[in-house]
Structure 1
Amino acid sequence: MTPCILVLDDEASVLKLVQETLEERGCRVIPARTLPQFRKIDAEEAVDLYVIATTLANGNGLSLVRELRQASDRGIILLSDRRNEGDGLHGLEIGADDALVKPLRQRELVARVTAVLRRTGKAAAAAPVRPRIDHEFEGYAVSLVARQVWNADGQEIALTTSEFELLAALIAHRGQVLSRDQIMNAIKGRQWESYDRVVDGIISRLRRKIPPKKGRPPFIRTVHGVGYTFTG
């Protein structure tokens, strides 16, 4: 099924680039230049992924991300200006899957969109056979290839791309302590300016989504002054 992507940005050049780039890859892209237009389209279409500018003439992209994440688990990618790159990082704290900095590079845009659609596509598909399990702990099961996590009852736990990549990085270094810089580099694939609160926010969400048994400590342990380690 062709994925539907709703793009919100008040820059016509950005909308054109995103639409042309992603439509060449087989996506259906619907552009919106205003928040009311975005809301109307979102109410009428079955959107798989949102691409949202953090800075808008008539609204706040970060507030919209918070609203969308509370309502659904659909993919969200933020677009921020280089001078406001911190907005994109803040978006990761509140549940966005990824963030890109304008001016956009087409190859990077395609790669990030593909990764998020892979997550949302897997979550939507009811596969008759569970993919290969790579790691298990206290009833939880993790498939690194399928990028899925299940609880002890066999129910899938919906994780954003950043949440899954952080969990996978900690599992890959089980028993080792990773600094926040190492974690950010692992989940973004390149070195970002270090924002401690971004990593802390993702860790906090993972702890809520993957809680330990009653009375047991969290699977992700804080090593004060250093970083985090996975003990599951």
Structure 2
Amino acid sequence: MLTNYLVAENFKVTAVAGSQAMARIFSERPVDLLILDMRLAGEDGLDIMRQLGSPPEAPIIIITGHRRDEADRIVGLELGADDYITKPFSLRELLARVRAVLRRSQVAQRHSGSKKRVRCRFAGWELDMRTRRLISPAGEPTPLTTGEFNLLAAFLQSPQQILSREQLLIASRMHDEEVFDRSIDVQILRLRRKLEVNPSEPKLITTERGAGYMFATAVELL
């Protein structure tokens, strides 16, 4: 049903039943987007995401079960998913999310082809905004998912300023469809694990109780 609908909307779609067929498709041609159901008949969708590595080869929209079952959704985001949709959902909503993720991916590709080169340096780290390449103080590359990059870019654009949860949700392109949605908290946790010396006692991304989060160090533009 999803394949027929997206094909009717002028997308080229290949449907596969498992990870082996998926890997074959990835090896044969470029893939712009992966829509992955967490509840497959013979495999665990989370295991498939782990096989894809970090960052994944293509942006990912995950399909999860009932909206109250947030475990798969949170783990999927931690593993690098760019967006999620919960069952039951309308085909029009799925189409909107597909277009939004592809649009962001295309914008990033255009930026990567631009001659303009902007780099940000903070606390020994350096982020190339053109290539999305993050280098640690030790000189090691640190991969970022699309959501992580968007969130870090938002912080770097407003250093030492408190940003509300809503502002960060918009910046990281995560939607806040539920009052108890933890999408932004997952993204913050993932960034802290990559940037902080001790994620349990963060020094770079601090929590401002009742207000939001703040990138607590100075940022130098190169």
Structure-1-length-normalised TM-score:
0.66
- 2:91 partner letter: L
**Distance in 2 (alpha carbons) for counterparts of 1:20 and 1:52:** 20
Cα offset for 1:96?
1.1
Instruction: Rate the CA distance shift 1:72–1:107 in 2: closer, same or farther, 3 A.
Output: closer
Matches within 5 A, 1:55-94: 55-70=39-54, 72-80=56-64, 83=67, 86=70, 87-94=72-79
**Distance in 1 (alpha carbons) for counterparts of 2:50 and 2:154:** 25
CA RMSD of aligned residues (A): 3.9
Q: Secondary structure at the match of 1:79?
A: strand
Q: Would you say 1:218 and 2:206 are equivalent positions?
A: no
Instruction: Rate the CA distance shift 1:142–1:39 in 2: closer, same or farther, 3 A.
Output: closer
Report how many residues are paired. 209
Report the counterpart of residue 97 of structure 2 in structure 1.
Answer: 108
Instruction: Rate the CA distance shift 1:122–1:142 in 2: closer, same or farther, 3 A.
Output: farther
Instruction: Rate the CA distance shift 1:176–1:182 in 2: closer, same or farther, 3 A.
Output: same
Cα offset for 1:48?
4.9
Structure-2-length-normalised TM-score:
0.68
Report the counterpart of residue 117 of structure 2 in structure 1.
Answer: 131
Matches within 5 A, 1:74-223: 74-80=58-64, 83=67, 86=70, 87-101=72-86, 102-105=89-92, 106-116=95-105, 118-119=107-108, 121=109, 131-133=117-119, 135-142=120-127, 146=130, 148-151=132-135, 157-188=142-173, 190-195=175-180, 197-211=182-196, 218-223=203-208
Match of 1:31 among 7, 10, 15: 15
Gaps of 5+ in 1: 1-12
Instruction: Rate the CA distance shift 1:85–1:185 in 2: closer, same or farther, 3 A.
Output: farther
Q: Kindly indicate whether the alpha-carbon contact (under 8 Å) linking 2:192 and 2:202 is maintained by their aligned counterparts in 1.
A: no
Instruction: Rate the CA distance shift 1:48–1:107 in 2: closer, same or farther, 3 A.
Output: closer
**Distance in 2 (alpha carbons) for counterparts of 1:109 and 1:128:** 25
Q: Kindly indicate whether the alpha-carbon contact (under 8 Å) linking 1:93 and 1:201 is maintained by their aligned counterparts in 2.
A: yes
After superposition, the C-alpha distances for 1:173-198 in whole angstroms (9 at most, x for unaligned) are 43233344543344236533245653
Report the counterpart of residue 5 of structure 1 in structure 2.
Answer: none
**Distance in 2 (alpha carbons) for counterparts of 1:139 and 1:122:** 28
Instruction: Rate the CA distance shift 1:43–1:150 in 2: closer, same or farther, 3 A.
Output: closer
After superposition, the C-alpha distances for 1:6-36 in whole angstroms (9 at most, x for unaligned) are xxxxxxx11222344363xxxx532213455
**Distance in 2 (alpha carbons) for counterparts of 1:228 and 1:99:** 23
- 1:29 partner letter: V
**Distance in 2 (alpha carbons) for counterparts of 1:157 and 1:122:** 22
Q: Which has the higher strand share?
A: 1
Percent of residue pairs identical: 29
- Residues 52-61 or 36-45, more deviating: 36-45
- 2:163 partner letter: L
Higher RCO, 1 or 2 (CA under 8 Å, sep at least 6)? 2
- Residues 60-69 or 74-83, more deviating: 74-83
Gaps of 5+ in 2: 218-222
- 2:4 partner letter: K
